[in-house]
A and B are shown apart, each in its own frame.
Chain A
Amino acid sequence: MFIIICPYCGERDQTEFSSGGEAHIVRPKQPTELSDDEWAEFLFMRKNIKGIQFERWNHSHGCRKWFNVVRDTSNDKIHAVYKMGEKPPINK
C-alpha cells in the first residue's frame, strides 16, 4: 500500500488512485494509415518491467486528474510524479 503524491492534491493513500498502465503511449494521429501490425503494437503491446516503470495513474477518488508516475515495480518506490503533457523528470 503505497503513498502517491498527486500533483494537484498532494500526499494521498494508494486506495484513492487507480492505475492506468504504461505511460507515454501516444494514440496514433492517423490510425487509418497504420498496418494491422502497427496498430496492434499501439493497441496491445505493453511492457511489464521489473524495475523502473513509467505509468499512468488517476486520482479517481479525489480530483479525478490523470498524471504520470515513475515507479520501481520491484519495491514500489516512487521516483517521480508529473503532470500529463510534462516531460518525465527522469530519463526514460
Chain B
Amino acid sequence: MSQELRINNNKFIDQTIRLSFKFNGEKLYGYKGDTLASALLANNIHLVGRSFKYHRPRGIMTCGSEEPNAIVQIGKDPSLTDPNVRATEIELYEGLEAFSQNCWPNVKFDIGGINNLLSPLLPAGFYYKTFMWPASFWEKYEFFIRHSAGLGKSPSKPDPDIYDHKYYHCDVLVVGGGISGIIAAKLSAENNNETLLLDDKNTLGGTTIYQKNDCFQINGTYTNYWLEKEINNIKNIKNLTIKTRTSLAAYHGYNYLLAKENLTDHLNPDERKDKIRQRLWKIRAKKVIIATGSIERPLIFNNNDRPGIMLSSAIKKFIDFYGVKTGKEISLFTNNDSAYETAISLKKSGVNIVSIIDIRDISSSKIVKEVEKLNIKIYWKHTVVNTEGYRRISFIEIMQLSDDGSGVIGKKIKLKSDCLGISGGWTPMVHLFTQSGGKLKFRSDDNVFLPDKSKTPSDQISIGSCNGDFDIKDIILNSNKEVKTFLGIKNSSFDNLKVESSNEEKKKNIWLLPSDKPIGKTKPFLDFQNDSTAKDVKLALREGFKSIEHVKRYTTTGMGTDQGKLSNMHALGIIAETTGTNMGELGTTTFRPPYTPLTFGAIVGRNVGEFFDHTRKTAMHNWHVQNKAKFENVGQWKRAWYYPKNGESMFEAVQRESKAARESVGILDASTLGKIDIQGTDASEFLNRVYTNAWSKLAIGKCRYGLMLNEDGMVYDDGVTTRLGENRYIMTTTTGGAANVLSKLEDYLQTEWPELDVYLTTVTDHFSTISICGPNSKKILNKVIPYLDLSNENFPHMSFKNSKINGIKCRVMRISFTGEHSYEINIQSNYSKNVWEMCMNAGKDYNITPYGTETMHLLRAEKGFIITGQDTDGTMTPSDLQMDWIIGKKKFDFIGKRSLYRSDTIRDDRKQLVGLLTDDPKEILEEGAQIVEKLNQKPVEMLGHVTSSYFSPNLNKSIALAVMKSGKKLKGKKFFVPMENKNINVTVTDTVFFDKENKRLNA
C-alpha cells in the first residue's frame, strides 16, 4: 500500500500502529490516531457518497461534526450496524468496516445519478409539487423516494450494547476544550470551583494545538507549544474533571445539560466486550461556560460540490494534525485570511500550491505577506466560476470580479487542481446558547450571529470564537477577562500574556458568487447533504415564501442530519439579499437539540426490557405462575387473567371458571385493588364530600359501595368502603385508578378543605385480598376460620369482621362483585399466599376454582355491574349509567354535584348504559362495535357502541353492555351492529341479565 500522501513526524498519529480497515469492501490501512476520513484521504479516496436528490458524487468536506457528505454505515452485523456516522468523527480501529450510504449499486456507478441529468425537473418543492398528487399514489411514491434516498439502514435486531446514564452536579461546566475552554477550566478549577470540562474529540486543544505558525505566538513560543504545556498542567488540578469523546447534546433551562460520552466506539470489536458503549451525562451546573468555537463557512459558487473541494480549515487539520495531504496540486479560494494559514502549513509539508484565489482587492496582513514571500501565486479580486471533474475535481476556472462583485469580467483562466480549499469566514457555534433560551444579535462587519449578553436566560457565558472572537489575541485576552468577571476572580495567571497575531485587516463577503453563466445554468450548492442550491432558495422566494422557516422546509435547506451547520448562514444571506432585508431582522431558524445525533441506546440507557417500567406482582403471584395462569397487564400490575387447563382456549377456560364460581365456589386474587386507610375525626364528613351517596349514618362494621365523580359530574372511580371504627374507614378503589384517586383526595384535603381532620394512607401493598365467591363460599370460610360466626344475622351482606387466621389478624368483608354470596379476606401480604393455599385445600371437595380477571369481568357483566374505564370513558354521569339511586340528592354538596344539573348533563339524549342481547344467542358482539338503526342511511348515524360483551355460560347466551343515545327509552327496540361482512341484529334490554332479584347474595 502506498502512503505517499502521508507525511512523517506527526505527534498525533502513531505510525508504529498500523490499522487495517475496509471501505466498501476494499481493504485499506491507516494508523492509530486517524479518523476514518483521514485514513481514506491518506489512501487518496475523496469520493465517499452520493448526494440526496441528484446523486452527485460527494467527497469529504470537513474534519468535524459539521460534515455533510461523508456519512457512512459502520459494520454489517444486523444488531450492531450503525447508520449515519460521520467519517470525520469516527476514530479508526482495527477491523473497522464502513460503507457508503446513499448509492446503489455502488458509489462509483450510481443509478440515481440520472437525477443529476434530470435536475432541471427537480427544483425546490419538487417532492411537494409532484408526489402529493394524486393523494392515493403517495404510498407508491414514498416507497420510491425512501428506497433511492437511503439515509442508512437501522439495525434489524435488538441492540446488545450496554448504555448508561449518570447524574452530575458541578459548580462550573466548561463546554469545549479549545484554547478558551482550557483557559476557563484552569481559572475556574484553580479558584475552588468543582469544574467539569467536556470535549467531543479524543484530545484537548481545539485548532490551536496544531497551530505552529510564526505569525501566532504566546510569550515568544508557538501557540501549540504554549497550549500543550497548559493542558499538561491542568490535568493535575484536583477539582477539575476532564471528559473527552463527550459531546454536549442539549442545553435546557436552569443549566440542565445532556452530554454523550463515547466509551467504546474507538476500540476494536473484541476490546468492547462487557463494556458500556455510551454514557449519557445529565448535568446540573451552577455556572456554564460555552467555548464551542466556530466552524468555517464554505463559499457558494458554480459546481462547488465536487469531491476534492473541502473547507480550507479541514485541509489544514488533515495536514497539520493527521499528517495527510489532501491533494498534490491544491488551490485555495477565500474571502479572508484563514486560507493563508492553510497555505503556509501545506507549503511547509511540501505540497504544491497552485494558487490562492481571493475575492478581496488586497490584504497586507502579516500572514499574507508571509505567503507572498513563499512565491505562491495570489489572484486578488478573482472568483471561481466553475469546476471540472466528475469523481474528483480536476480543474478550476477563475475570472476577475467586477467592482461591485455582482459579475465577472475579463478572460477565464483554467487551473489544474486536484483539491480546492474554500474559506468563507467563520460561523460561531451558538447552538447551545440558543437552546438554553438565549437570543442572538447580528454583527454586520462579518455577518455573524452572536450571543446577546442582555438576553441570556441562565448563569452562563460564551467565550472565544463562539462569542465572535476570531483572532488569537482577542480570544486569549477576552476569554481571560470574561471568565474572571463571571467567576469573580481577581488575579489570573493569564493576565500578562504577550500574544502576537497576524492582525487580519479586512474581509469581504459575497453570499452567492457570480459566474459567467446565468444562474439557471449553474449549480451553486448551499446544503450539500440535502442538495439544495442557491437557485432553489431564490425560486422559493419567487413563489412567495417569505419566512425563513418556510423557505427552509420548502427547499429542505438545513434539514439533513447535519442540521445545516454549513448551509444555514448562506441561505439566510441569500434570502436577505434577494428580499432586501437586513439579516439581523430576518433572524435564524431555530436550533434544536441534539447538536449532533444521539443514539436511542444513549437516550434510554438502562431502562430497557424488564427495567422499562416497574412491574408490580401480588404476594400470590408465584402461585398463579405455578398454576399456569395467563397474565394481563393492568397498569403496572400483572394480574392473573385466566387459568387454562389441559390445553383449553381462553374462551373454554373462562366458561369453565365462570360456571364453577356460580355453581360451587371460585377464588380470585383481588390484591391489586387500591386500598386507602382514612382516619380522623372528620373522616365521615370527608367521605360525604367525595362520594355521591351519604356516609354519616353508615354503622361501624358495615360496608357501602361508593361512586366518585370529577367536578364536571363524570364518573371517575368506584369501590366499596368499610367503616372500621368511629373515625376510621378503609376505601377500595379500582386497580388502575388507585394512585390518581389518592392524589385527588389529597389535593382536596390540602387545598380546598384544610379544616378537615383527615389523614390518608395508602395500604394497597400492605394487605392482600382473597375473594371467595359462590354458593359454597361459606363452607370454605368456615374451614379456614372455624370460630367466626357466618350466620346471616351475625355477618350479613355488606358487613365486616375483624378476625384471625392461625393467630394472624385479618379483616373479612362480606361483599360481592359477582352477585354471589362472597367473602373477601384481607391479610398482611406476607401471609397471604399461605392463606390462599389454605383456602384451596379447604375447597378441594367443592371443586374450588381459581379464576382470573376475565371471569371476574364476565360474572359482573351478568349482573350489569359497571367497570369504570371500560363501561365509562370520562363522559358518563351516574344518571347516564342508570345509577340515579346512588345520588344523595339531599346532600348539601359533593364533588361534581353541581355539574349533574348543568344544561348539558340533563339532556335526555345523552349516551346511556343499556343491555344488549343478540337475536342469535350464539353471536358474540365485539367490544367497541358501533350500533346503528338504519343501514341504508348515508352517513350512517352512530347511536352508540358496545362497551362489554361476553358469552354467558350461566345463561347460555351472549350478553353485552353498551352506551346508546337516549338509551333509557330504548328498551325492547331492535338495532343493528354492522360488522365487516355481516350485520348483527340486537335488542336493547335491561342491564341486569342474571338473578335480577339478588337472591343469590344470601344463598
**Could you tell me which A residues sit within 8 Å of B by CB distance?**
1-3, 13, 20, 26-28, 30-32, 34, 36, 39-40, 43, 56, 58, 60, 64-66, 75-77, 84-85
Q: A3, A31, A76: which contacts B897 (Cβ < 8 A)?
A: A31
Bound Cα distance from A25 to B712, whole angstroms: 15
Contact A84 B711 (CB under 8 A): no
Bound Cα distance from A28 to B746, whole angstroms: 18
Known contacts A1-B252, A1-B253, A76-B253: does B750 contact A31 (CB below 8 Å)? no
Least CB distance, A23 to chain B, in whole angstroms: 9
Contact B893 A31 (CB under 8 A): yes
Contact A32 B711 (CB under 8 A): no
Bound Cα distance from A75 to B750, whole angstroms: 29
Contacts of A13 in B (CB 8 A): 284
Bound Cα distance from A26 to B898, whole angstroms: 15
Contact A2 B253 (CB under 8 A): yes
Query: Which 10 interchain pairs have the tightest Cβ spacing?
Result: A31-B898, A1-B256, A66-B750, A2-B254, A1-B252, A76-B253, A27-B752, A3-B254, A39-B898, A66-B751
Bound Cα distance from A45 to B688, whole angstroms: 27
Whether B437 is near chain A, meaning CB under 8 Å from some CB there, is: yes
Contact B899 A39 (CB under 8 A): yes
Contacts of A27 in B (CB 8 A): 711, 752
Contacts of B746 in A (CB 8 A): 64, 66
Bound Cα distance from A51 to B743, whole angstroms: 28
Bound Cα distance from A34 to B893, whole angstroms: 13
The number of residues on chain B lying at the interface, defined by a beta carbon within 8 Å of a beta carbon of chain A, is 23
| Residue in A closest to B749 when the chains form the complex, CB atoms | A66
Least CB distance, B138 to chain A, in whole angstroms: 36
Q: A1, A20, A32, A39: which contacts B902 (Cβ < 8 A)?
A: A39
Contact B893 A84 (CB under 8 A): no
Bound Cα distance from A9 to B503, whole angstroms: 56
Q: A1, A2, A32, A84: which contacts B754 (Cβ < 8 A)?
A: A84
Contacts of A66 in B (CB 8 A): 746-747, 750-751
Whether B978 is near chain A, meaning CB under 8 Å from some CB there, is: no
Q: Which of chain B's residues 724-757 have a Cβ closer than 8 Å to chain A? A: 743, 746-747, 750-752, 754
Number of A-B contacts (CB under 8 A): 52
Contact B254 A76 (CB under 8 A): yes
Contact A43 B252 (CB under 8 A): no
Most B Cβ at <10 Å: residue of A3, A32, A40, A43? A43
Cβ contacts A to B, 27 pairs, < 8 Å: A1-B253, A1-B254, A1-B256, A3-B254, A3-B284, A13-B284, A20-B747, A27-B711, A27-B752, A28-B898, A31-B893, A31-B897, A31-B898, A32-B893, A39-B898, A39-B902, A43-B712, A43-B899, A64-B746, A66-B751, A75-B437, A76-B254, A77-B457, A84-B750, A84-B751, A84-B754, A85-B754
Contact A75 B254 (CB under 8 A): no
Bound Cα distance from A27 to B752, whole angstroms: 7
Bound Cα distance from A70 to B734, whole angstroms: 35
Contacts of B792 in A (CB 8 A): none
Bound Cα distance from A26 to B711, whole angstroms: 13
Least CB distance, A14 to chain B, in whole angstroms: 8
Contact B902 A34 (CB under 8 A): no
Bound Cα distance from A28 to B752, whole angstroms: 10
Q: Which of chain B's residues 102-156 have a Cβ closer than 8 Å to chain A? A: none
Bound Cα distance from A65 to B457, whole angstroms: 29
Contacts of B747 in A (CB 8 A): 20, 58, 66
Bound Cα distance from A40 to B713, whole angstroms: 12
| Residue in A closest to B750 when the chains form the complex, CB atoms | A66
| Residue in B closest to A75 when the chains form the complex, CB atoms | B457
Bound Cα distance from A65 to B747, whole angstroms: 8
Contacts of B743 in A (CB 8 A): 58, 60
Contacts of A40 in B (CB 8 A): 902
Contacts of A76 in B (CB 8 A): 253-254
Whether B903 is near chain A, meaning CB under 8 Å from some CB there, is: yes
Interface flags for B872-900 (1: CB within 8 Å of A; 0: not) read 00000000000000000000110001110
Most A Cβ at <10 Å: residue of B252, B253, B712? B253
Bound Cα distance from A66 to B748, whole angstroms: 10
Least CB distance, B332 to chain A, in whole angstroms: 45
Least CB distance, A37 to chain B, in whole angstroms: 10
Contacts of B750 in A (CB 8 A): 65-66, 84
Contact A34 B252 (CB under 8 A): no
Contact B902 A36 (CB under 8 A): yes
Contacts of A65 in B (CB 8 A): 750
| Residue in A closest to B905 when the chains form the complex, CB atoms | A36
Least CB distance, B510 to chain A, in whole angstroms: 38
| Residue in B closest to A4 when the chains form the complex, CB atoms | B254
| Residue in A closest to B257 when the chains form the complex, CB atoms | A1
Interface flags for B688-732 (1: CB within 8 Å of A; 0: not) read 000000000000000000000001100000000000000000000
Contacts of A30 in B (CB 8 A): 893
Bound Cα distance from A45 to B418, whole angstroms: 69
Known contacts A1-B253, A65-B750: does B897 contact A36 (CB below 8 Å)? no
Bound Cα distance from A27 to B893, whole angstroms: 11
Least CB distance, B288 to chain A, in whole angstroms: 14
Bound Cα distance from A56 to B748, whole angstroms: 13
Bound Cα distance from A31 to B902, whole angstroms: 12
Contacts of A32 in B (CB 8 A): 892-893, 897-898
Bound Cα distance from A84 to B747, whole angstroms: 11
Least CB distance, B132 to chain A, in whole angstroms: 34
Contacts of B897 in A (CB 8 A): 31-32
Contact A34 B254 (CB under 8 A): no
Contacts of A39 in B (CB 8 A): 898-899, 902
Most A Cβ at <10 Å: residue of B457, B750, B752? B750
Contacts of A56 in B (CB 8 A): 751
Bound Cα distance from A27 to B903, whole angstroms: 20
Contacts of A85 in B (CB 8 A): 754
Contacts of A3 in B (CB 8 A): 254, 284
Contacts of B751 in A (CB 8 A): 56, 66, 84
Known contacts A1-B254, A2-B254: does B711 contact A43 (CB below 8 Å)? yes
Q: B253, B752, B898: which contacts A34 (Cβ < 8 A)?
A: B898
Contacts of A31 in B (CB 8 A): 893, 897-898
Contacts of B712 in A (CB 8 A): 43
| Residue in B closest to A38 when the chains form the complex, CB atoms | B898
Least CB distance, A76 to chain B, in whole angstroms: 5
Least CB distance, A53 to chain B, in whole angstroms: 15
Bound Cα distance from A29 to B899, whole angstroms: 14
Bound Cα distance from A28 to B284, whole angstroms: 42
Interface flags for B279-305 (1: CB within 8 Å of A; 0: not) read 000001000000000000000000000
Bound Cα distance from A66 to B751, whole angstroms: 7
Most A Cβ at <10 Å: residue of B711, B747, B751? B751
Least CB distance, B228 to chain A, in whole angstroms: 38
For the A-B complex with A26-B752, A31-B897 known, give 8 more contacts whose Cβ atoms are closer than 8 Å. A27-B711, A28-B898, A31-B893, A32-B898, A39-B898, A39-B899, A56-B751, A75-B253
Contacts of B752 in A (CB 8 A): 26-27
Least CB distance, A38 to chain B, in whole angstroms: 10
Q: Which of chain B's residues 229-249 have a Cβ closer than 8 Å to chain A? A: none
Most B Cβ at <10 Å: residue of A26, A27, A65? A27
Contacts of B711 in A (CB 8 A): 27, 43
Bound Cα distance from A54 to B253, whole angstroms: 19
Bound Cα distance from A75 to B457, whole angstroms: 7
Contacts of B437 in A (CB 8 A): 75
| Residue in A closest to B760 when the chains form the complex, CB atoms | A64
| Residue in A closest to B167 when the chains form the complex, CB atoms | A13
